[in-house]
């Protein structure tokens, strides 16, 4: 198994061209939000690349929940934003979620032709690694970044998951506390903080708080 780290849409396109299994990492917040939504009972999460795309999907899923944010703020008229705290406090049993976020949803669409796409973050890192070890495929970990730029939290999470895949007996170069300290200087955290969403950051830094691995089926993320 070869494990590579790629960045952004261009990295996703390279990974898809190789036929790699893909782990999408959008640490703050899409990865954590998706996992938490499934923990709260969601049945399917359909990523949408834009609000227009979501509106088109809604025609086929009129009982679904519209979820999305732009720059950490819930999109006006939507049912939910992209907050893991909000998802954990909402009963989503059996619900289909249509999701449009600043970075993560667009990344999923870019990776959709890959034979295997999963969503990973610190919250389910060990479970993602164990899931992929049984697939006998090369793996690309795609660090989504923010608005086309790399961000420290995605890069560190990508490294963390790669370490679990290739050197599971080797301690990661930073402690969990040190990782959190590094992520506190990220522009992503600054934006969360300015919106009063510090509790979301804590969710995003909750290492292995879930054992769920969302898997993309070509249209939606589900749990196998």
pLDDT tens column, 27-53: 999 999 999 999 999 999 999 989 999
Residue 125 lies in a domain: yes
Kindly report, residue by residue over 75-113, the tens digit of the pLDDT. Answer: 999 999 999 999 999 999 999 999 998 777 789 889 999
| Cβ contact 18:154 at 8 Å | no
pLDDT of residue 215: 98
Q: How many CB atoms lie within 10 A of CB 161?
A: 25
Establish if 218 belongs to a structural domain.
no
Q: Is residue 222 part of a domain?
A: no
Say if 38 falls within a structural domain.
Answer: yes
Query: Could you tell me the pTM of the whole model?
Result: 0.95
Q: Output the pLDDT for position 152.
A: 97
For residue 33, which of 189, 186, 214, 218 has the smallest C-alpha distance? 214
The separation between CA 191 and the C-alpha centre of its own chain, rounded to angstroms, equals: 18
**Per-residue pLDDT reduced to its tens digit, 125-177:** 999 999 999 899 999 999 999 888 999 999 999 999 999 999 998 999 999 99
User: What separation in angstroms does the CA of 163 have from each of 39, 125, 168?
Assistant: 25, 10, 6
Rounded Cα distance between 23 and 141, Å, is 5
Which residue range forms the structural domain that includes residue 180?
Answer: 3-212
What pLDDT band is residue 22 in, cutting at 50, 70 and 90?
very high
> Does the residue 220 lie in any domain?
no
Total number of domains constituting the chain: 1
pLDDT band of 183, cuts 50, 70, 90: very high
pLDDT of residue 103: 78
Is 224 inside a domain boundary?
A: no
| CATH code (residue 47) | 3.90.1560.10
Q: Does residue 82 lie in a domain region?
A: yes
Q: Is 219 within the bounds of a domain? A: no
Phi and psi at residue 92, in whole multiples of 5°?
-110, 20
């Amino acid at each position: 198994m070869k494990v590579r780290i790629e960045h952004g849409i261009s990295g996703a396109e390279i990974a898809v061209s190789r036929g790699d299994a893909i782990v999408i990492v959008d640490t703050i917040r899409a990865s954590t939000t998706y996992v938490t939504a499934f923990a709260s009972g969601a049945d399917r999460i359909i990523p949408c690349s834009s609000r227009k795309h979501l509106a088109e999907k809604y025609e086929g899923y009129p009982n679904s929940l519209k979820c999305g944010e732009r720059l950490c703020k819930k999109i006006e008229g939507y049912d939910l934003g992209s907050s893991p705290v909000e998802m954990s406090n909402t009963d989503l049993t059996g619900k289909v979620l249509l999701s449009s976020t600043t970075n993560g949803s667009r990344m999923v669409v870019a990776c959709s032709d890959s034979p295997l796409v999963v969503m990973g973050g610190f919250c389910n890192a060990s479970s993602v690694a164990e899931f992929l070890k049984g697939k006998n495929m090369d793996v690309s970990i795609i660090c989504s970044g923010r608005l086309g730029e790399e961000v420290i939290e995605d890069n560190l999470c990508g490294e963390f998951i790669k370490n679990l895949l290739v050197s599971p007996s080797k301690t990661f170069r930073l402690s969990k506390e040190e990782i959190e300290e590094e992520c506190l200087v990220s522009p992503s955290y600054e934006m969360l903080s300015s919106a009063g969403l510090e509790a979301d950051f804590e969710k995003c830094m909750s290492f292995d708080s879930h054992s769920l691995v969302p898997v993309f089926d070509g249209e939606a993320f589900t749990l196998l």
